[in-house]
């Protein structure tokens, strides 16, 4: 009834791609300076947005990409450019003074997408859904997706304790570190997209 191999394979794949430990400093940097209640809400919003995007692409992702005539490499490059803009803001300190609109924006972009629900996760889910055989296969795939998002929520929700320990100075350090990490992730994503374009040409 339940295919443990399919569940484990997709869960591990999504864990590596979505990287809950790696998202922690970026989440802390993007949500610093906000009340704890707002930060907890943003963690929940980000996970909900990521799950919504993943679910939509899991159900009809290939049809959406085909209809829009968008290739996977183009999706990767666009996501990389968006992440690079956010990374530059973190490195230059432009996010140190949050505005009212950022309470929603940060949860939607870049946390929900493309950091959590990025091109890699989307493509992995599309392929997993297409390969899953019968009800048991689909149940295993969607169970892995849900379990991964629960892990992401727990990681971000309880990473807020770190802010109380490291104080304001530590938050600034984490923000700059997150900007550097995020810029590297963005550049690598752009490189992967360009290499796929060259390979497919």
Determine what percent of the chain is predicted with pLDDT higher than 70: 93
What confidence category does residue 99 fall into, taking pLDDT thresholds of 50, 70 and 90? very low
CA 145 to chain centre: 13
| Those residues with Cβ within 8 angstroms of residue 5's Cβ, 6 or more apart along the chain or in another chain | none
d(CA 52, CA 61): 12
Determine the pLDDT at residue 176.
84
The answer to whether the Cα torsion of 166, 32, 78, 21 is positive or negative is positive
* Confidence check: pLDDT of 151 > 50: yes
How confident is the model at residue 169, as a pLDDT?
A: 77
pLDDT tens profile 27-68: 988 887 888 898 899 999 999 999 999 999 999 988 988 899
**Please, are residues 166 and 174 in contact by the beta-carbon 8 Å criterion?**
yes
Q: Which of 51-55, 87-91, 121-125, 189-193 is the least confident region?
A: 87-91
Residue with structure tokens 């183009």? 74
């Amino acid at each position: 009834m339940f295919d443990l191999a399919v569940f484990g394979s997709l869960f591990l794949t999504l864990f590596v791609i979505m990287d809950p430990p790696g998202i922690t400093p970026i989440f802390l940097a993007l949500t610093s300076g906000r009340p704890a209640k707002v930060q907890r809400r943003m963690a929940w919003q980000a996970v909900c947005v990521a799950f919504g995007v993943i679910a939509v692409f899991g159900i009809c992702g290939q049809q959406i990409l085909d209809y829009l005539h968008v290739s996977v490499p183009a999706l990767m490059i666009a996501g990389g450019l968006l992440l690079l803009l956010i990374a530059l803001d973190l490195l230059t300190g432009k996010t140190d003074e949050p505005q009212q609109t950022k309470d929603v924006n940060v949860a939607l972009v870049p946390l929900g997408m493309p950091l959590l629900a990025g091109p890699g996760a989307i493509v992995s889910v599309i392929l997993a859904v297409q390969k899953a055989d019968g009800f048991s296969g689909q149940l295993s795939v969607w169970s892995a997706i849900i379990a991964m998002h629960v892990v992401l929520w727990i990681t971000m929700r309880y990473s807020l304790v770190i802010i109380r320990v490291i104080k304001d100075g530590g938050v600034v350090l984490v923000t700059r570190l997150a900007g550097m990490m995020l810029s590297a992730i963005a550049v690598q994503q752009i490189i992967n997209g360009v290499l796929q374009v060259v390979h497919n040409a």
